């Protein structure tokens, strides 16, 4: 498979390694990574809190975060503070949240790691940032699901850059419309390349709110045997595997098509078991392996013993899916494509069958 490196800036998501190489070491091996986005210690965001289910105490987490951010800052990597929880409860427009935001930014400044960017899904958080730190770029989170130019215009006073809704990003014609507006209005356009989430997932709001309260939810007495993830529930049945091909991810081989249209490609790596592999694939523009391994969440366990051979995609894959209307009721293209790309590793690579 021929490598087609992309010239688009990559943004990688920070994770703390209790054991193993510091995250900064991984990032600094990849010059295409121009930004690292990170949460604050014990602060809700779009993923479980930093240090969640780890034994490290907050002081140790802070020391590791400071070490990594300092190395990244010294190397010229832009820092993007995540304040993108989908729910802040009763604090949603409160003075306490405002004070905490200012304290976090001031603490980072005392480390000489004041962020260039802050990403949020909250218009109130955006207001606080614009009021207190007008020089910081305020970026609209992908969790805002912005899919119309009207929404972009509404947010223009508060936001400097936008993550485009994942559900429309495979259409280059659509991306081009948003790109033209952003660049004409002094804004930046970003996309998230490797999300494993379902397109138009009806559980997203529920799930994002649950994640914002993950610490409390884990301590509650929950109903046994119920899965809060629609995707994992669907993929229990092999007949639903084609839904993966109808999702929102973009293969590394197709990232070069977005050059000149988007300013930053975000890679979901905050909980990925091998963030270096993900970064390498999108930096190189190719991946020779199980495509499921690139996603976050990764679905290799859900599909086992099946895997998705990334080298076997039909030649017309991008053209067909970029022009697709995404009604997904009568076309049948993704079902036929699944026959081409899915294999069973336990029977010598036999094709998938529903």
Domain presence at residue 137 = yes
How many C-beta atoms lie closer than 10 Å to residue 351's C-beta? 15
What's the pLDDT at 50?
73
Whether residue 327 is predicted with pLDDT greater than 80 in this model: the reply is no
Domain presence at residue 4 = no
Domain presence at residue 111 = yes
What's the pLDDT at 352?
57
Domain presence at residue 164 = yes
- Report the chain's mean pLDDT, rounded to a whole number: 91
Domain presence at residue 343 = no
pLDDT band at residue 1 using 50, 70 and 90 as cut-offs: very low
Domain presence at residue 64 = yes
Q: How far apart are alpha carbons 310 and 312 in whole angstroms?
A: 6
Whether residue 252 is predicted with pLDDT greater than 70 in this model: the reply is yes
What's the pLDDT at 42?
84
Tell me the per-residue pLDDT of 165-190, one tens digit each, with 9 for 90 and over.
999 999 999 999 999 999 999 999 99
What's the pLDDT at 20?
74
What's the pLDDT at 217?
83
- Whether the bond between 195 and the residue before it is cis, its omega within 30 degrees of 0, is no
pLDDT band at residue 349 using 50, 70 and 90 as cut-offs: low
Tell me the per-residue pLDDT of 20-72, one tens digit each, with 9 for 90 and over.
789 999 999 999 999 999 999 888 887 776 755 555 677 888 999 999 999 99
Tell me the per-residue pLDDT of 201-222, one tens digit each, with 9 for 90 and over.
999 999 999 888 988 888 888 9
Number of structural domains in the chain: 1
Domain presence at residue 348 = no
Residues of the chain with pLDDT > 90, as a percent, come to 77
pLDDT (average), residues 286-299: 94
Backbone angles phi, psi at 351, to 5 degrees: -60, 155
Pick from 41-55, 112-126, 287-301 the range whose average pLDDT is largest: 112-126
Long-range contacts of 71-75 (CB under 8 A, 24+ apart): 71/22, 71/24, 71/28, 72/24, 72/27, 72/28, 72/36, 73/112, 73/113, 75/24, 75/28
The CATH number of whichever domain residue 117 belongs to comes to: 3.20.20.60
How many C-beta atoms lie closer than 10 Å to residue 276's C-beta? 17
- In terms of pLDDT, which residue wins out, 193 or 353? 193
Q: Containing domain of residue 271, as a range?
A: 9-237+246-300
Backbone angles phi, psi at 77, to 5 degrees: -80, 130
Tell me the per-residue pLDDT of 94-118, one tens digit each, with 9 for 90 and over.
999 999 999 999 999 999 999 999 9
What's the pLDDT at 4?
60
What's the pLDDT at 347?
57
pLDDT (average), residues 330-342: 90
Domain presence at residue 30 = yes
What's the pLDDT at 171?
95
């Amino acid at each position: 498979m021929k490598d087609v490196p992309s010239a688009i800036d990559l943004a990688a998501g920070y994770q703390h390694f209790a054991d193993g190489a510091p995250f900064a070491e991984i990032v600094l091996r990849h010059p295409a990574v121009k930004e690292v986005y990170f949460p604050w210690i014990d602060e809700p965001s779009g993923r479980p809190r930093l240090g969640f289910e780890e034994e490290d105490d907050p002081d140790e987490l802070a020391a590791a975060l400071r070490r990594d951010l300092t190395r990244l800052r010294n190397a010229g990597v832009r820092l993007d503070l995540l304040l993108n929880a989908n729910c802040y409860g009763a604090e949603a427009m409160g003075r306490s949240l405002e004070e905490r935001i200012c304290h976090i930014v001031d603490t980072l400044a005392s480390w000489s790691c004041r962020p260039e960017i802050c990403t949020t899904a909250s218009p109130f958080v955006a207001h606080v940032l614009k009021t207190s730190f007008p020089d910081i770029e305020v970026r609209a989170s992908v969790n805002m699901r912005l899919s119309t130019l009207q929404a972009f215009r509404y947010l223009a006073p508060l936001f400097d850059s936008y993550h485009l809704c994942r559900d429309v990003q495979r259409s280059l014609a659509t991306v081009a419309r948003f790109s033209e507006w952003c660049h004409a209005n002094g804004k930046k356009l970003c996309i998230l390349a490797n999300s494993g989430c379902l397109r138009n997932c009806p559980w997203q709001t529920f799930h994002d709110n649950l994640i914002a309260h993950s610490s409390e939810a884990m301590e509650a007495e929950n109903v046994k045997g119920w899965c809060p993830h629609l995707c994992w529930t669907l993929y229990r049945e092999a007949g639903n595997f084609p839904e993966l091909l109808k999702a929102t991810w973009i293969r590394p081989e197709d990232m070069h098509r977005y050059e000149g249209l988007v300013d930053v490609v975000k890679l979901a790596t905050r909980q990925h078991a091998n963030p270096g592999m993900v970064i390498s694939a999108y930096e190189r523009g190719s991946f020779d392996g199980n495509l499921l391994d690139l996603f976050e969440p990764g679905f290799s366990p859900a599909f086992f013993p099946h895997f998705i051979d990334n080298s076997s995609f039909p030649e017309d894959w991008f053209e067909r899916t970029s022009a697709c209307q995404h009604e997904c009721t009568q076309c049948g293209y993704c079902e036929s494509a699944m026959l081409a790309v899915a294999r069973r590793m336990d029977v010598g690579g036999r094709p998938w069958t529903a």
